[in-house]
Amino acid sequence: MKIIIAGVGDVGYHLAKQLSSADHDISIIDVDETHVEKAGSSTDVMSIHGSSTSIRVLKEAKVEQTDLLVAVTSVESININTAILAKKLGAKKTIARVSSAEYVSDENLDMIKSLGIDYLIYPEELAAVEIAKLLERSAATDIVEIENGKLLVIGIKIENNNPIINMTMRQLAEMNQSTSFRVSVIQRGTQTIVPTGNDTFMINDQIFIITTQDAVEDIMKIVGKENVQIENVMILGGGRIGRKAAKLLEEKINVKLIESNSEKTMELADYLRKTLVIQGDGRDIDLLAQEAIIDMDAFVAVTADAETNIITCLMAKHLGVSKTIAQVDNVDYVPLTQTIGLDSLINKKLIAANIISRFIRRANIISAVTIPGIDAEVLEYVVKSGSSITKKPVKNLKFPKSAIIGGYIRDDVGYIAVGDSVFQNDDKVVVFALPEAINKVEDFFD
């Protein structure tokens, strides 16, 4: 597949890195020469220094032969213009990143598509939706929905009171045979492990379980986690993410939003009907105390400053708040946040990159999802008739050791894969794989 990525900031760079190992023909375009050099030196891509709104530059990238153009610069107008020009010059499909909610509103989508833009990515809205999901299932550190929730991947932190500590994978499975789930990844410090039956759960492990919707509550009981009912939440930061998250939540729970900018505070008070908007510095522990942070069930920090978000979430945790969520857009911080006591983190750029990757099919992959802080990818494949994956039961497939089959969807119903599972034509199979195993995994689906 021929792909052009316009803009090689965090989203574009992550996409280029993710896709360049999958035999795609990728070209990157950026006006910042250092971005181009960084991506070109660490990924197998064709690098072009210039503006993506230049017809000459787009033609240099062979836009007329392109299957997909993704415009993810930091400037909304450049992304929109790039996508429109690319479609007029022959690109088959275009995606543009936007930073304004009006573009993704239902009333404007038809007009946007008529201009030649096939899909809009609004990372701030995606991040707000993710926050709402994490508060709904408060015991989870991460939640990934597959095929609209037919299967779920749930991240859980193993703490010193968890009953599964020192238990092996095999023991856990044998003790809970009536519950549909599989532990598919263990993150231990900076090491990502695709586990076998003999692997043991340890304190501070972060585990990722694939399961079905109806088994979630049972799984929480098994791992000793209580899904706290969130009734009161404090949000720090009234930017696009905080504003949207408050709007999503205020009809269901009590929301307090703290914003330091006085003008923005007034705008938020007009926009949010049921949210209590407070002007102040959320780093001020006296202010947090005055606003009864100890009575909060959750604290969400989504300012533009990652350090502020991390520190205030740690303060909230110290003060007894059950659930904390921090926005951390600096990907270099992601491994650190997993080890210092944060419950969940939001990285809007990785969320956007994951959504975009679902438009890109390599072999029979429907989607590829990266979870912040772990090296494994969650890959969803469509089974073709006669492919190797259909020849034997799972237990006899000799699947790569650094990959595991988690579950599958057949006739719109999600199932967890077991040793005797045999896959059929058109099944959708979910695989967890470390980077070195992906090419071997793909051979099973060819």
pLDDT tens figures, 186-229:
999 888 999 999 999 999 899 999 999 999 999 999 998 877 88
Question: What was the pLDDT predicted at 19?
Answer: 75
d(CA 408, CA 128): 28
Q: Is 98 left (phi over 0), alpha (psi -120 to 50) or beta?
A: beta
Structure-block tokens of residue 157: 């932190």
Q: Could you give the 3-state DSSP secondary structure of residue 396?
A: helix
Domain covering 353-445, topology: Alpha-Beta Plaits (3.30.70)
Q: Are 204 and 230 in contact (CB under 8 A)?
A: no
Q: Are 182 and 417 in contact (CB under 8 A)?
A: yes
Question: What was the pLDDT predicted at 163?
Answer: 92
Cα atoms in the Cβ-side hemisphere of radius 13 Å centred on 390: 14
Q: What is the biggest distance separating any 2 CA atoms in the chain, rounded to whole angstroms?
A: 66
Which residues, in sequence order, are CB contacts of 435 under 8 Å at separation 6+? 21, 375, 377
**Closest-CA residue to 306 (of 336, 334, 281, 327):** 327
One of 3.40.980.10, 3.40.630.10, 3.40.50.720, 2.30.40.10 is the CATH number of 2-121, namely: 3.40.50.720
Domain covering 129-222, topology: Alpha-Beta Plaits (3.30.70)
d(CA 405, CA 432): 6
Question: Per 3-state DSSP, what percentage of the chain is helix, strand, and coil (rounded to 5)?
Answer: 35, 25, 40
Domain covering 232-348, topology: Rossmann fold (3.40.50)
Residue ranges of alpha helices (H) inside 47-168 are: 55-60, 76-88, 106-114, 123-136
CA 14-18-22 angle, to 5 degrees, is 155
Q: Which residue carries 């930017």 as its tokens?
A: 239
Q: Which residues of the chain have pLDDT under 50?
A: 363
Burial level of 110, CB count in 10 A (0-12/13-18/19+)? exposed
d(CA 367, CA 360): 7
Question: Taking the model in full, what pTM does it have?
Answer: 0.80
Instruction: Dump pLDDT digits (tens) for 270-288.
Output: 999 999 999 999 889 899 9
Structure-block tokens of residue 268: 């938020």
Hey, which residues does 378 pair with through a beta bridge? 369, 432
Instruction: Dump pLDDT digits (tens) for 295-308.
Output: 999 999 999 999 99
Question: What was the pLDDT predicted at 75?
Answer: 94
Q: Is 396 left (phi over 0), alpha (psi -120 to 50) or beta?
A: alpha
d(CA 355, CA 362): 15
Which runs of E-coded beta strand occur in 260-297? 276-279
Residues of the chain with CATH 3.40.50.720: 2-121, 232-348
Residues of the chain with CATH 3.30.70.1450: 129-222, 353-445
